[in-house]
Amino acid sequence: EDKVVQSPLSLVVHEGDTVTLNCSYEVTNFRSLLWYKQEKKAPTFLFMLTSSGIEKKSGRLSSILDKKELSSILNITATQTGDSAIYLCAVEARTSYDKVIFGPGTSLSVIP
């Protein structure tokens, strides 16, 4: 059965800290790995990763995919209180139709 696992499930850090969020997956016919940020309701897209070893960056956020290890990490440097959110990892699989499987999310709290 297709599965996406995230760790840790929750994390509390102080402003300025660097955090690393982990995602691992077992999916048939992998197509891409996606990271989302969910602050209140609607998840907002952060990154899409398809190739192994290539880092995607956006400001203080970066992510990399390891297809050999079936995993990905999301790094946030110099955290701010505005980074407090749930970070969702999802994997898109290509079967007869494409489908997206989400992990449980990591709840990040950044305290001043």
Which spans of this chain sit near other proteins (rule: CB under 8 A)? 4, 6, 31-32, 34, 40-45, 48, 88, 90, 92, 96-105
Closest approach, Cβ 16 to other proteins, in A, equals 28
**Closer to other proteins by Cβ: residue 66 or 102:** 102
Q: Which is nearer to other proteins, 58 or 96 (CB)?
A: 96
Non-local (6+) Cβ contacts of 101 within 8 A are 2, 3, 4, 25, 27, 90, 91, 93
Q: Min. distance of Cβ 39 from other proteins in angstroms?
A: 11
Q: What are phi and psi of 82, to 5 degrees?
A: -70, -10
Closest to other proteins by CB, 91 or 110:
91
Instruction: Give the CA dihedral 57, 60, 61, 66, nearest 10 degrees.
Output: 60
Backbone angles phi, psi at 104, to 5 degrees: -75, -15
Paired with 100 in beta bridges are 92
- Rounded to the nearest whole angstrom, what is the least distance from the CB of residue 25 to other proteins in the complex? 12
Least distance between other proteins and beta carbon 51 (Å) = 14
Which C-beta is closer to other proteins: that of 15 or that of 98? 98
* HSE (side-chain half, CA atoms, 13 Å) at 28: 5
